[in-house]
Structure 1
């Protein structure tokens, strides 16, 4: 058994950074150092009082310490980490771009009055869950020891549970929409013969390379047997699911 410190160090950079930020945001709130209304996504205050920080801070508040908070944080630790260590291994820039695209898509969706929600952190976590369910569609998931189902259906099962327990379904639904939009543009549309519409911008790749975030991508000159060995260990696992799907 590894210690908590060793486990934390083993986490991939983007998931670790986002999970840590969410944990700190709630911890600082519990200490009474700020009120959620000060970081909520309120477009009137963004555009008319230039409180631009709200476009970013709302993505880090998962709510006060509670069972629901713990579940959302565990979703980052499990599904975000599995994505970053699996299909996105050595593709840190692509994973970061997925998160940035998801955040932007959620901001656009939330600008529609019907979809508006003051905090989009749960939606972003749900987007991770949705993309994970598409990358590992045949994985068997056990929910609370009561129901066993394929990962492909997990987002909808979690949404149904939130409705049953009285939580708002809008954050979950927004995450599903953003996740499907990303997956359609990067996987489904290209597999159907269309052009790859959504590519990771060069500035994101340069940012990741400049700060040396995550493992370096596989170079073109790397021996083929090394790439095959990494493929068998799960690096390209998501692509195999995509092709089989």
Structure 2
């Protein structure tokens, strides 16, 4: 018999399968939610955070879809790219082997953003999701150099503030969702890292049911978080680029 030919490789499929599960879910939901509304398969108004519909009609999916709905355009493409890049680094570095902790971060920060949305009448929280991820990444990579927009370089510590300032300048309105995302992420970071590292008690703990549902694949280390050095800056020698409104990320250029 002639030797069998190996099956043809599909690099796109292999890349998608290699993405860690939480980052894969966040990226996929962002693409799907935006695509089905942009293609007219579903009304965009059915995806936004509209409390009367949630309370009276029990349209509970709005509590989730509001974090992933966006508008088609070049800004959306950058959003998806940087959402993927930042979340990938969090999941594979800061929360490496601890999926329950990473899921709890999103549940906690999203809960705070929903509470803020009920007070300040916010309907779309996709910018808040981006800022919460970017802020936590920046705190753990405070001294990493990033390049912003037209070659302006600064430490990653200032990245969330630059993102908010850019949004403010380009839209002319206060980016409330972005601010809510950053504040919610800071509260999480303070309760799980800053305060415990100062000798205080860690009041915020990942629930046991999440740990049972999403068991750890790497043993814990240190006392401040998911592994040794969780509360310390991890410098990454990576550069980056910013490309207009919402083209935010962990300081990496497209194609790197």
- Normalising by structure 2, what TM-score? 0.79
- More divergent stretch after superposition (86-95 vs 136-145): 136-145
Does the CA-based 8 Å contact 1:15-1:81 persist in structure 2?
yes
1:167/1:55 Cα in 2 relative to 1: closer, same or farther (>3 Å)?
Answer: farther
Q: CA deviation at 1:237?
A: 5.2
Match in the other structure for 2:57: 49
Q: Among residues 190, 198, 202, which one is paired with 1:196 in the alignment? A: 202
State the Cα RMSD in Å: 2.2
Structure 1: any 5+ residue segments left out of the alignment? 210-214, 220-226, 228-234
Q: Among residues 87, 93, 115, which one is paired with 1:108 in the alignment? A: 115
Q: CA deviation at 1:6?
A: 2.9
Q: Report the secondary structure of 2:48's partner residue.
A: coil
Q: Distance in 2 between matches of 1:238 and 1:12?
A: 19
Q: Distance in 2 between matches of 1:50 and 1:10?
A: 36
Q: Distance in 2 between matches of 1:116 and 1:7?
A: 39
Does the CA-based 8 Å contact 1:136-1:238 persist in structure 2?
no
Q: Among residues 19, 37, 55, which one is paired with 1:11 in the alignment? A: 19
Q: CA deviation at 1:171?
A: 1.5
Q: Among residues 68, 71, 74, which one is paired with 2:78 in the alignment? A: 71
The correspondence of residues 35-184 of structure 1 with structure 2, limited to 5 A, is 35-61=43-69, 63-112=70-119, 115-166=120-171, 168=173, 169-184=175-190
Q: Distance in 1 between matches of 2:194 and 2:35?
A: 39
**More helix by percentage:** 1
Match in the other structure for 2:238: none
Q: Distance in 2 between matches of 1:136 and 1:238?
A: 11
Alpha-carbon deviations, 1:33-81, whole Å to 9, x = none?
Answer: 11111121111221233222221221221x1221221222122111111
- Normalising by structure 1, what TM-score? 0.83
